[in-house]
Amino acid sequence: MEMTLRWYGKNFDTVTLEQIRQVPGVKGVITTLFDTMPGEVWSRERIKAMKDEVEAAGLKVAGIESVNIHEDIKLGKPSREQLIDNYIETLTNLGEEDIHLVCYNFMPVFDWTRTELARKRPDGSTVLAYTQEAVDALVPEKMFESISGDTNGALMPGWEPERLAHVKELFDEYKDVTDEDLFANLKYFLERIMPVCDKYDINMAIHPDDPAWPVFGLPRIIINKENIQRMMKMVDNKHNGVTFCSGSYGTNLENDLPDMIRSLEGRIHFAHVRNLKFNSPTDFEESAHLSSDGSFDMYEIVKALYDIKFTGPIRPDHGRMIWGEKAMPGYGLYDRALGAAYINGLWEAIEKANK
Ligand SMILES: [Mn+2]
């Protein structure tokens, strides 16, 4: 594995590349062009400028999170042809710049859902949290305003104002879209992009839906072992792969995370490792990475990745807000650095125990 941290670019992130460079074991970042819109072509010049900036700080671009998919592609509208052509052009430009990993998701309308951005824990840290009761009480179009807590001035990924301005129309468009439609539209998209992925050896790594069940009556398919295996078989190409996110698949306690990891050998191209603390099956908060702080056995999760000989980028996922830091919720420096150190420690111990 290759330890990385997510970085949104210097105009959007409170964390600097210089800080990331000092986290032990971190050699690369997972980044994006955060100000691009879904459907837009990423120019070769902008990709190169991003890469140069990261490399000047002594790091590498380990992958992109995310190149977002336009809703028309998920909906299977005729306009998808041009939009997929654009996506292929972006992949070509990434490939030409020697970037070989792209994380994306296929979630309708909302990229992810939490109901609190700063739930206070007993130790005084604050974390992102979710309760089904709060979601059930929400008017979807008003989700953004209804979320309690402060974004600390940050633009939240997946909750861009442009997207949210059209939430109501999008809900109408998804009214008759079923899981089967979504699978078919995903298959269509993947089959169109696989040739360029083969040409440049680009690993596409789908991020699971978060939480891993339908919210607001929208269809959601990347939620469990059965569905992800279906997706792997549906386009049986190594470049059609997975971002294994323990915190997202883990929202559903029925998902056996180590078992899912083992079932995806050779197809996990990127890993997000974090813990959740469940207060009830429908109330969870994003705890520290340490096993004993949450509900998951992090040793077993990392060991499963080790056992399948995972070599791709890995990153600590959302961290708690600690030590007075002000940052995008989930994306402060301090707790993610602790998470990286912890995952590195688990990995070293597992590796040495297996020698
Ligand atoms: Mn994730």
Domain containing residue 322: CATH number: 3.20.20.150
Please state, rounded to an integer, the average pLDDT across all residues of the chain.
93
Residue 10 has pLDDT above 70, yes or no: yes
- Does some domain include residue 7? yes
- Does some domain include residue 172? no
Q: Rounded to the nearest whole angstrom, what is the distance from the C-alpha of residue 78 to the centroid of ligand 1?
A: 30
User: Looking at residue 121, what DSSP letter applies?
Assistant: P
Residues above pLDDT 90, as percent of the chain? 81
- Give how many domains the chain has, as a whole number: 1
Q: Rounded to the nearest whole angstrom, what is the distance from the C-alpha of residue 247 to the centroid of ligand 1?
A: 6
Q: Is the peptide bond prior to 195 cis by the omega test (within 30 degrees of 0)?
A: no
Cα–Cα distance list, 234 to 72, 129, 158, 230, 231 (Å): 21, 34, 27, 6, 5
Mean pLDDT of all residues in 148-156:
62
The predicted pLDDT at position 184 comes to 98
Mean pLDDT of all residues in 196-217:
93
The predicted pLDDT at position 81 comes to 97
Could you list the active site residues?
207, 245, 272, 317-318, 331
The predicted pLDDT at position 335 comes to 97
- Does some domain include residue 279? no
- Does some domain include residue 94? yes
Q: Rounded to the nearest whole angstrom, what is the distance from the C-alpha of residue 207 to the centroid of ligand 1?
A: 7
**Measured between alpha carbons, how far is 275 from 291 in angstroms, rounded to an integer?**
7
Residue 159 has pLDDT above 70, yes or no: no
Q: Rounded to the nearest whole angstrom, what is the distance from the C-alpha of residue 25 to the centroid of ligand 1?
A: 20
pLDDT band for position 154 (cuts 50, 70, 90): low
Buried b / exposed e over 288-310, threshold 16 CB at 10 Å, is: bbebebbebebeebbbbbbebeb
- Does some domain include residue 125? no
The predicted pLDDT at position 21 comes to 98
pLDDT band for position 162 (cuts 50, 70, 90): low
The alpha carbon of residue 267 and the mean position of all alpha carbons in its chain are separated, in whole angstroms, by 16
**Cβ neighbour number for residue 189 with a 10 Å cutoff:** 23
β-pair partners for 148: 116
- For 2, phi then psi, to 5°, come to -125, 115
Q: Rounded to the nearest whole angstrom, what is the distance from the C-alpha of residue 317 to the centroid of ligand 1?
A: 6
The predicted pLDDT at position 256 comes to 98
Cβ neighbours of residue 183 closer than 8 Å, sequence gap 6 or more = 221, 230, 231, 234
The predicted pLDDT at position 299 comes to 98
Q: Rounded to the nearest whole angstrom, what is the distance from the C-alpha of residue 249 to the centroid of ligand 1?
A: 9
Residue 146 has pLDDT above 70, yes or no: no
**171-205 residue pLDDT tens:** 888 989 999 999 999 999 999 999 999 999 999 99
The predicted pLDDT at position 158 comes to 65
**Measured between alpha carbons, how far is 214 from 178 in angstroms, rounded to an integer?**
11
- Does some domain include residue 160? no
Mean pLDDT of all residues in 279-302:
96
The predicted pLDDT at position 152 comes to 63
* pTM, two decimal places: 0.94
Helix (H) or strand (E) holding 234: helix 225-234
Range of the domain at 310: 2-106+179-274+297-353
- Does some domain include residue 283? no
**314-338 residue pLDDT tens:** 999 999 999 999 999 999 999 999 9
Residue 142 has pLDDT above 90, yes or no: no
SS3 (DSSP) at 91:
helix
- Does some domain include residue 154? no
Cα–Cα distance list, 270 to 1, 152, 228, 344 (Å): 9, 28, 15, 16
HSE (CB half, 13 Å, CA atoms) of 127?
27
